[in-house]
Amino acid sequence: MLDAVKSTYFTMKSPDAGINKYVKEWSHIDNAYRNFSYEEDRSGVSYEKLFGEYLEGAPRIEIQDPYIIKPYQTRNLMEFLEVVYHHKKPEDEVSVTLLTTADRDYFEDQDMRLSRIKDSAALIGIDFEYSYDGTDTIHDRNIILNNCWKIILGRGLDIYQVFDTDMLSFTSRVQEIMKCKAFEITYVRN
């Protein structure tokens, strides 16, 4: 595997001209493997930029994230589904399944939120199903697309620092201006 990976490990300037933060990248020679490391406090990152191009032509998406528990984590899932919606043809139906863990303390609230997402997603051509890991052993976070891509998420969808939740504040609506936690993301073509 190492022979197939470019020997250069390099940094790229952030797309945000005014911010001197860097993204570290490993790339496979034929782009079948790409790994990015994002530094703490970086802005300019959105689900659209991270996932958009990979969602094209993927009618089936499987998400494994054990931490879709709290309201803000459920919001992250909803924002991911918005990107799915924007990358599907209006006449197509996309199937999205989620495997997560059950919140022992607030299961009813968690299940109600996921059920509401299921109902809402159906209105826009996304068949959303979810299930809970009965073994309490899942830890890995990834997205498997049936268009030959697997996206390995170091932090899952939970990449943003705590932000203003005021619905009238742009810092709660525009991902590109939110600050990120440090995280890695890896794209592997199957």
Q: Which residues of 153-172 are buried (b: 16+ CB within 10 A; e: fewer)?
A: bbbbbbbbeeeeeeeeeeee
24 belongs to a structural domain: no
Residue type, 93: E
In a domain, 35, yes or no: no
pLDDT tens per residue across span 165-187: 777 778 777 899 889 999 999 99
pLDDT of residue 8: 32
Assigned domain for 61 exists: yes
pLDDT at 187: 95
Kindly report the pTM of this predicted structure. Answer: 0.83
**Does residue 11 fall inside a structural domain?**
no
In the chain, the number of structural domains is: 1
121: containing domain: 45-178
On the question of pLDDT at 93 being above 70, the answer is yes
Please report whether residue 55 resides in a domain: yes
Is residue 187 a part of any domain in this protein? no
Residue-wise pLDDT for 14-67, tens only, equals: 344 433 344 555 555 566 888 999 999 999 999 999 999 999 989 999 999 999
CA angle 24, 26, 32 (to 5 degrees): 140
Contact (CB, 8 A) for 82 and 158: no
